[in-house]
Amino acid sequence: MIIDSHCHLDDSCFAMDRDAVLERARAAGVDCVVSIGTGDGPPNLEAGIAVAERYDCVYATVGVHPHDAAKSQPGTMKRLEALLRHPKVIALGEIGLDYHYDNSPRDVQRAVFAEQLAVALAAGKPVVIHTRDAWEDTFQILETNWVREAGGIMHCFTGGPKEAEQSLNLGFHISFSGIVTYPRSMEIQQAARVVPLERLLVETDAPYLAPVPHRGKRNEPAFVVETARRLAELREEPFETLAETTSRNWYDLVRVDRPGR
């Protein structure tokens, strides 16, 4: 069994066949899926929860994506505090910085990022980090506003060994998406080889970033198996070992009991 630790199941492209998507995931050996709850941004903060409540195999996050930081209102953080108490919400995210698109002003992104880190610490929840073209500021904010023991995930990791080492030193797990299967992603593949197995996760980020051999198609949770297979090849480890260990890593990080325990 394997975990898709990051998927946008609320996306409208799944509206017509979400049941079938999850059936295919289970058939492929996916134990559970995390529905990321950033949606279209505030005031709608429950996109992930709405999906998780419908399916036993789905958990959720809540959070304000950096693209939507400018939509944050005075009551947004209080609402996140309340939603983090939902029994199927396992983390706050995805949060962070995105200097590639700059859909929200950078100073606003930084402020909302720091605010959400405080909310997560108070709630005792790990965080799911999005960073794009913003490694320096991301690390600076984490070093100031986060504690190693709280735990978190560097989602859809796109750095190299240096960024992996910094992330690990801050206490984060590192999650690889379908990008690691792309032939030109050599720096990401180098990082994938050196991350300790006990700090490794896998994800789809569906419906985006479908792995080889599905590249160019709509991504879906079942395809996380292809990412895991490529990771196992890069690391020269048995697929079964990687699948089992990354699943255990996720359950331990988010403090959810595995089925059958």
Domain of 48, in residue numbers: 2-254
How far apart are the C-alpha atoms of 36 and 170, rounded to whole Å? 22
Tell me which residues of the chain have a pLDDT lower than 50: 261
Handedness of CA 139, 140, 145, 148 (dihedral sign): positive
Question: Is 165 within the bounds of a domain?
Answer: yes
Question: Is 189 within the bounds of a domain?
Answer: yes
What's the pLDDT at 260?
Answer: 53
What's the pLDDT at 197?
Answer: 98
CA atoms within 13 A on the CB side of 218: 11
Question: Is 205 within the bounds of a domain?
Answer: yes
Taking only the tens place, the pLDDT of each residue in 196-220 is 999 999 999 999 999 999 999 999 9
What's the pLDDT at 259?
Answer: 66
CA dihedral 73, 74, 75, 78 (to 10 degrees): 120
Peptide bond into 66 cis (omega under 30): no
SS3 sequence of the chain: CEEEEEECCCCHHHCCCHHHHHHHHHHHCEEEEEECCCCCCCCCCCHHHHHHCCCCCEEEEECCCHHHHHHCCCCHHHHHHHHCCCCCEEEEEEEEEECCCCCCCHHHHHHHHHHHHHHHHHHCCCEEEEEECCHHHHHHHHHHHCCHHHCEEECCCCCCHHHHHHHHHCCEEEEECHHHHCCCCHHHHHHHHHCCHHHEEECCCECCCCCCCCCCCCCCHHHHHHHHHHHHHHHCCCHHHHHHHHHHHHHHHHCCCCCCC
Question: Is 134 within the bounds of a domain?
Answer: yes
Question: Would you tell me the crossing angle of helices 18-28 and 224-235 to the nearest 10 degrees?
Answer: 30
What's the pLDDT at 34?
Answer: 98
Question: Is 33 within the bounds of a domain?
Answer: yes
What CATH number does the domain containing 124 carry? 3.20.20.140
Question: Is 164 within the bounds of a domain?
Answer: yes
**Per-residue tokens: 72:** 């944050």
What's the pLDDT at 193?
Answer: 98
How far apart are the C-alpha atoms of 118 and 110, rounded to whole Å? 13
Question: Is 182 within the bounds of a domain?
Answer: yes
- Domains: count for the chain: 1
Question: Is 260 within the bounds of a domain?
Answer: no
